[in-house]
């Protein structure tokens, strides 16, 4: 229709249009002329209206786009309705290393970290919060920037829906519950709607407490002894809006464990009276050290890269701490090794993987990513020394006396063999041809070495566990089709070796070799694994099927000490169990 007046107006995003009024031409067309978008990234809207008719909406996204960087948001989906908390997952490809990947909503920026995301694989991810923001449509902008300042934004409109809020006073996340747990929680409805139900469930199915908007009850967890379980608080308000909050609990009630510390997040290590732990609920995830003896607390590092698949491991040292966190650099990001020493942080560079770091006493070894090489670090003096460029990039080891053992990765005609470096000298402990046998993943105590020997990759392989005393090797476990893993299938300390070997019924049992004598420590109807070994030959082992942990002291009968929850380490002349927020010492 010609000669019709049309009004144009910007309804969101700011910016400018050339004409606010226009009249249709002979073909019935009218234009606002140039539309300049607002300065903020995100959705811009322009309405065209004619008297007596619904307005027509035009939408444009304001974003940076560079051909050098591609950014795709996988979660949330465009137009997805979400509550106050939601997960952000993005994939980024770039021709240059990445400098940063962030997400922004309503001016609030969330750093994203690189790691494995369940069901997706490697991606950039983080948790966004819309708490305090109005209900309605918002823009999520994921921005990837490379080291050459190339920037690409991905804009995803999302809808914020006010949901019931659950405040949990108890239990705290990562809490150890001795057979029962006190639950104290309150629900606040969304908007003008009050809460109509509040339910506590274990593992998403078993209801342990109910209320309308408040729960204060003791929940019986005895049926879950030895399990890491999820407690879920689930609420509904009068408008039908639903929300839930999860807590991770460890159900352990052993009297053989003495709690020596409880910290604000997962415990990573203990040395002397100090505990290294990660506080994930700080403004930024924070690695901290608590001195149990004095109550002193020191923040080591704050970074979103401390969580996710590259968060940890971390070790306390006499001069500070050594730990692994995420790294932004790319195109394929790798974990970063960081040292906290005398109150200062030093990035030691990208490493090949978390399993490439090994620490013992005042020494550490790690594999650098690029250029590839195996390094030993003197943790007292803060000096790293290149050991070799031919080592495999994972599962090498160091002893407290500075001995380094490593396996060659098959290049340069060296095959897959075990080497020991002592006092600057390199000794090949094995010399098998790559076409016949592979030797990998050694552990050492500064005396001998224990490692995995197998037929070549990659079909119908058989594996055995072998000990080398520096002069000759001897077989510990006969060849089988299951791959032995360092730490759980073999371990070594002060001349004592613990290893898993099959019994007459072909069940994997834990054995110990001391002074050339082999002793079977477990005799279970199902397989058992090693937790740790001490310098006197004491072995802590677990039977996974029964969720129980045992102690095998030299000359003593096998004794049950609790469930197999948590990580066992030997420090300060004692075995410790790191279980969520708690540090336990195994009682004598």
pLDDT in tens, 413-453: 899 999 999 999 999 999 999 999 999 999 999 999 999 99
- Beta carbons of 257 and 574 less than 8 angstroms apart: no
Distance CA 47, CA 6 (A): 10
Enumerate residues 6+ apart whose C-beta is below 8 A from 202. 208, 219, 221, 224, 229, 230, 231, 232
State how beta strands 242-251 and 175-177 pair. parallel
- Beta carbons of 576 and 532 less than 8 angstroms apart: no
Summarised one tens digit per residue, pLDDT across range 329-388 is 555 667 899 999 989 999 999 999 889 999 999 999 999 988 899 999 999 999 999 999
Instruction: State the average pLDDT over residues 515-543.
Output: 97
Q: Quote the pLDDT of residue 330.
A: 55
* Statement: residue 247 has pLDDT above 90: yes
Summarised one tens digit per residue, pLDDT across range 97-110 is 888 899 999 888 98
Q: List the strands of the sheet with 136-146, edge to edge.
A: 81-82, 151-160, 136-146, 98-105, 108-111
């Amino acid at each position: 229709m010609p000669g019709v007046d049309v009004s144009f107006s910007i309804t969101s995003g700011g910016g400018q249009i050339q004409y606010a009024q226009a009249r249709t031409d002979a073909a019935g067309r009218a234009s606002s002329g140039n539309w300049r978008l607002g300065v903020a990234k995100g959705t811009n809207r322009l309405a065209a209206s004619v008297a007596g008719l619904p307005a027509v909406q035009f939408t444009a996204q304001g974003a940076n786009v560079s051909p050098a960087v591609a950014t795709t948001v996988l979660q949330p989906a465009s137009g997805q309705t979400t509550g106050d908390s939601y997960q952000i997952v993005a994939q980024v490809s770039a021709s240059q290393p990445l400098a940063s990947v962030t997400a922004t909503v309503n001016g609030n920026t969330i750093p994203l970290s690189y790691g494995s995301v369940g069901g997706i694989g490697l991606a950039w991810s983080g948790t966004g919060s819309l708490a305090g923001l109005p209900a309605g449509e918002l823009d999520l902008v994921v921005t990837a920037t490379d080291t050459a300042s190339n920037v690409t934004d991905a804009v995803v409109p999302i809808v914020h829906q006010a949901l019931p809020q659950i405040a949990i006073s108890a239990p705290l996340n990562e809490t150890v519950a001795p057979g029962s747990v006190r639950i104290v929680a309150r629900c606040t409805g969304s908007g003008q709607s009050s809460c109509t139900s509040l339910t506590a469930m274990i593992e998403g199915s078993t209801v342990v407490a109910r209320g309308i908007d408040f729960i204060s009850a003791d929940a019986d967890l005895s049926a879950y002894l030895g399990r890491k379980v999820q407690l879920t608080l689930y609420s509904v308000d009068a408008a039908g809006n639903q929300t839930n909050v999860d807590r991770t609990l460890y159900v352990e009630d052993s009297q053989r464990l003495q709690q020596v510390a409880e910290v604000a997040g997962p415990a990573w290590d203990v040395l002397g009276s100090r505990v290294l732990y990660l506080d994930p609920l700080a403004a930024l995830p924070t690695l901290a050290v608590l001195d149990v003896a004095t109550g002193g607390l020191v923040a080591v590092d704050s970074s979103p890269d401390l969580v996710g698949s590259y968060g940890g491991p971390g070790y306390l040292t006499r001069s500070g701490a050594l730990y692994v966190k995420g790294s932004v650099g790319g195109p394929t990001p790798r974990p970063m090794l960081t040292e906290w020493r005398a109150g200062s942080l030093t990035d030691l560079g990208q490493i090949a993987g978390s399993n490439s770091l090994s620490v013992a006493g005042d020494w550490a070894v790690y594999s650098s990513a690029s250029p590839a090489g195996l390094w030993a670090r003197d943790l007292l003096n803060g000096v790293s020394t290149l050991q070799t460029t031919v080592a495999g990039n994972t599962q090498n080891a160091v002893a407290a006396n500075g001995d380094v053992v490593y396996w060659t990765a098959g290049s340069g005609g060296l095959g897959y063999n075990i080497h020991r470096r002592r006092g600057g000298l390199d000794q090949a402990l094995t010399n098998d041809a790559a076409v016949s046998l592979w030797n990998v993943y050694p552990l050492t105590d500064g005396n001998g070495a224990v490692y995995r020997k197998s037929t070549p990759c990659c079909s119908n392989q058989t594996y055995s566990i072998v000990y080398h005393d520096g002069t000759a090797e001897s077989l510990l476990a006969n060849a089988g089709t299951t791959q032995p893993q360092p730490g759980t299938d073999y371990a070594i300390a002060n001349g004592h070796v613990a290893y898993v070997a099959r019994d007459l019924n072909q069940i994997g049992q834990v054995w110990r070799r001391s002074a050339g004598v082999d002793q079977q420590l477990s005799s279970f109807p199902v397989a058992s694994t090693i937790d740790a070994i001490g310098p006197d030959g004491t072995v802590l082992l677990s039977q996974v099927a029964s969720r129980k942990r045992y102690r095998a002291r030299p000359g003593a009968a096998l004794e049950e000490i609790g469930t197999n929850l948590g990580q066992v380490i030997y420090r300060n002349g004692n075995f410790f169990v790191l279980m969520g927020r708690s540090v336990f010492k195994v009682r004598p």
